[in-house]
Structure 1
Amino acid sequence: MPGASRRQLSRRDALRYAGAATAAVGLGSAAAPQAGAATGFTVIDFAAKQIPAADIKAAGHAGVINYVSTSRPGSNFGAKPITRPYAQSLFDAGLVIVSNFQYGKPGGTAPSDFTRGYNGGVADAKTAWQLHTAAGGGQTAPIYFSVDDDIDRATWNNLALPWFQGINSVIGEMRTGVYGGYDVCQWAAESGVIGNSSVPGYKWAWQTRSWSGGRIHPAAVLYQRIIDTASSPGPLVGGIRVDVNDVMARDCGQWQLHP
C-alpha cells in the first residue's frame, strides 16, 4: 500500500510543514478571507494554468484544490498535474493545498473515471498517489475522486461504488474522498468508502452545488458554491476563471494538516 511506511522528511520539508501547520489552522494567511459558510474561508479550483500564489492570496482565498491527474487526450491543462515547484510556491505564501483526481469527463475524450470499475479504481488510485507524493502531498492527506455527473443510485451501486472500492484497495478509505452532488456524497458516506475529517461529524466529501437541489450535505468539508460555466462565468483570479469552494470544516484534507 502506498505510504504504508512513512517517508523520511528532509529538513526543508520538516520546516515547511512546521511553519505551515499554524497557518493551516486558520486555512492560510489570506488577509481578508472571502465570505463563505462555516469557516469563512474559501479555496479555488481550476485547470487552465498554474495561478500565481500572489494572485490567489490577493483575491482573498485561503488556497487551492489542485489536480493529481493528467490532461485528457487532446487537451493540455496547465494545472494538471500539480508540480512540486508550484506546490512549494503555494506553501511559501501560506496557502493550503487539497488534492483531487479527475481524468475523464462526460462527453470528453476519455470516459468518466467512475465508469471504469474496480480495476479502473486501482489504476486511478495508483496514478493519483504517485502524482500526489511527487508534488510533496501529505502522506495521510486524502485525495478527492470525482463523480462529475448526475448519476442515480443504480449507477452508484453498479459503477461508481466498485470504482471507489478499487481506490480503497490501494490507498485505504481514510485517504479517499469524493467529489459529487448531494446524493453521491451521501451514498459514499453510507457505503464507507470515504474517510473522516479530524473535525467530528465531517467526512472527506467535496460537494458541488450541481445536482444537489439546493441542499448542502451536513458532513461535507467543502462546498463548490460558484461554478465557472459559459453562461455563468466564475471570478477571475490571475487572469483565468475559477470555481469557488466554501470550506465547511477547518480540516478539509489540506496537506499541511496531514504531513
Structure 2
Amino acid sequence: MAKGFDCSTPLTAETAALFAADGYSFVCRYLVPSGWKRLTAEEAAVISEAGLNIVSVFETTANRPLGGRSAGLADGATAAQTAYSIGQPPGSTIYFAVDFDATSNQMQTVIDYIRAASEATPDFNTGVYGSYAVVEAVSASGACSRFWQTYAWSSGKLSGAAHLYQYRNNVQANGITIDLDESYGNEGWWNLMAEPLAVEDANQLIEILKGLYNAGIGQDEAHRLANALRRASGQPEE
C-alpha cells in the first residue's frame, strides 16, 4: 500500500519536495485544459523531479457524468488531448470523476458516460472516481478498468475493485489543503522521469503483436497497441 494525496492547489518545487520528504508516493491532480487547478506540463515536471508519481483525474463539474454518452465522448477526447499536451505517457490511467452521490436511477447514465470516455481514450487506461456504489456498478459493467473510491457516500464500505481509496478530506499539510488517499497497486500513475521505451524493445513487442494480427487474433487491438509502442519509443505510427 502506498501513501498519497489529492489537491486542487498546483504544487511548487518546494511543496512537492516537502510531501516527498513526508513519505508520500503519489499525488492526484486535475487533468483539465484550463482553470487555476489544472495540472500543467511544468508542474508535472516539478512533481516528477521530487520523486512523486501522478494520478490524473478529469473533472469539470461534479454532475457532468449525468450528460451520459455524449458528454463522455467529448470529455474523453478533451482528456486525451490534454494528457498528450503535458506529456502523460500512453498506457497510464485517466480517471473520470463522479463527484456526487449517484442514485441507482442515475447509475446507467453514469456507466454510459464512463464507457464513452473509455472509448475516446484508447491509448490510456480509463478509471472512475466515485462512491462505493459507483465503483461497484461501473466495475460490474466492465465500462473501465481502474477504480478510485472515495469514503464519501459509501457508508463505511470499501469495494474490492478499488485501486485507490480517498479516506479523508480537507487536511492541512505543507501550507495547502489536501485529501488523503492510499493505493493498492496497478492504479496507473505516471511521472516524467521514467526512461523512454527503447526502440529495440518496442520492435520486439511489435513483432509479437504482428504475429497475432497475421493470425487474425484481435487485429484492431494489436494495431492500436503496436502504434502505442511506436509512440512510446519515438517512432512514427503505421
Q: TM tier, shorter chain?
A: 0.7 to 0.9
Quote how far apart the aligned CAs of 1:58 are.
2.6
1:243 to 179, 185, 208: 179
Deviations 1:233-256 (A, max 9, x none): x1323x11100101122x211125
SS at match of 1:255: coil
Within a 5 Å distance, the mapping from 1:141-180 to structure 2 comes to 141-157=92-108, 159-172=109-122, 175-180=125-130
**Counterpart for residue 19 of structure 1:** none
Quote how far apart the aligned CAs of 1:70 are.
4.4
**Counterpart for residue 188 of structure 2:** 253
Deviations 1:78-130 (A, max 9, x none): x31x111211122122111111001002xxxxxx2101121111110111111
CA distance in 2, matches of 1:142, 1:224: 17
The aligned amino acid for 1:225 is: Y
TM-score normalised according to structure 1 size: 0.69
**Counterpart for residue 5 of structure 2:** 44
SS at match of 1:49: coil
Within a 5 Å distance, the mapping from 1:66-85 to structure 2 comes to 66-70=29-33, 76-77=35-36, 79-80=37-38, 82-85=39-42
CA distance in 2, matches of 1:193, 1:174: 14
**Counterpart for residue 147 of structure 2:** 205
Deviations 1:204-246 (A, max 9, x none): 1100000111111112110001111xxxxx1323x11100101
Q: 1:89 to 1:48 in 2, by over 3 A?
A: closer
2:89 to 138, 163, 185: 138
State whether residues 90 and 124 of structure 2, in contact with CA within 8 Å, keep that contact through their aligned partners in structure 1.
no
Q: 1:205 to 1:63 in 2, by over 3 A?
A: same
Say whether 1:95 aligns with 2:87. no
CA distance in 2, matches of 1:155, 1:99: 25
1:214 to 156, 167, 170: 156
**Counterpart for residue 56 of structure 1:** 19
Quote how far apart the aligned CAs of 1:172 are.
4.1
The aligned amino acid for 2:190 is: W
Larger helix proportion of the pair: 2
**Counterpart for residue 36 of structure 1:** none
State whether residues 174 and 194 of structure 1, in contact with CA within 8 Å, keep that contact through their aligned partners in structure 2.
no
CA distance in 1, matches of 2:124, 2:162: 15
The aligned amino acid for 1:189 is: S
State whether residues 45 and 64 of structure 1, in contact with CA within 8 Å, keep that contact through their aligned partners in structure 2.
yes
Alignment gaps of 5+ in structure 2: 198-231, 233-238
| Percent identity of equivalent pairs | 29
CA-atom RMSD in angstroms: 2.0
The number of aligned residues is: 192
CA distance in 2, matches of 1:124, 1:179: 15
CA distance in 1, matches of 2:156, 2:42: 38
TM-score normalised according to structure 2 size: 0.75
State whether residues 173 and 192 of structure 1, in contact with CA within 8 Å, keep that contact through their aligned partners in structure 2.
no
CA distance in 2, matches of 1:244, 1:83: 22
**Counterpart for residue 13 of structure 1:** none
Q: After TM superposition, what 4+ stretches of structure 1 lie above 2 angstroms from structure 2?
A: 48-52, 256-259
State whether residues 72 and 114 of structure 2, in contact with CA within 8 Å, keep that contact through their aligned partners in structure 1.
yes
